[in-house]
Amino acid sequence: MDQQNIYTGNTPEIDWSTAYVGTPRFYVRPDGVDFGVFALNEGVETILPKQPQQRYQIEGKPVEEWRLLLYSKTRGVVIGDTDFFTAIRRLGIGGYIVDDNDTHILLRALTLTELDALMR
C-alpha cells in the first residue's frame, strides 16, 4: 500500500493524526430495524472501523446494518449512500486504503469522481 522512496529505500511515514475519525450516526428504517451510517467526505482523509457491528450497540443489541454516506464538498450535497462493507471492499481493491491496524482503516482523500464510482 505504501510507496517506497526509490532513492533511499525508506517507506514514507503515514500520519493518522490529521485524518477525520468517522463517527457513526444511528437511524431506524420504516420496518423498525436500526442501522448506522458513517460519512465519507470528498477530499478528506478518513479513519473508519473495520467491523463497526462489533463496536457499536443500541440498547445492548449490535447494529448489523451499516451504510456509507458520500458527501461532495464540490457540489455541496450528499451524492448518495452505499452499503458500508461493499464500499470498504471496493476501496481496498482500488488502493484507497493507505494503512490499517487491527481495528481501523485509513482512507486517503477521495476525489468527487472516486466517490461517484462507489455508487456504481
Q: Give me the pLDDT at residue 2, please.
A: 45
63-99 per-position pLDDT tens digit: 999 999 999 999 999 999 999 999 999 999 999 999 9
Q: Give me the pLDDT at residue 9, please.
A: 54
Question: Mean pLDDT score of the chain, rounded to an integer?
Answer: 90
Q: Supply φ then ψ for residue 51, to 5 degrees.
A: -130, 75
Residue 25 CA to residue 63 CA, distance in Å, equals: 11
- Cell numbers given for 25: 450516526
Ordered by start, the domain boundaries in the chain are 19-118
Identify the weakest region by mean pLDDT among 1-5, 48-52, 55-59, 110-114.
1-5
Residue 70 CA to residue 39 CA, distance in Å, equals: 6
Q: Is the pLDDT of residue 43 over 50?
A: yes
Query: Greatest CA span in the chain, whole angstroms?
Result: 58
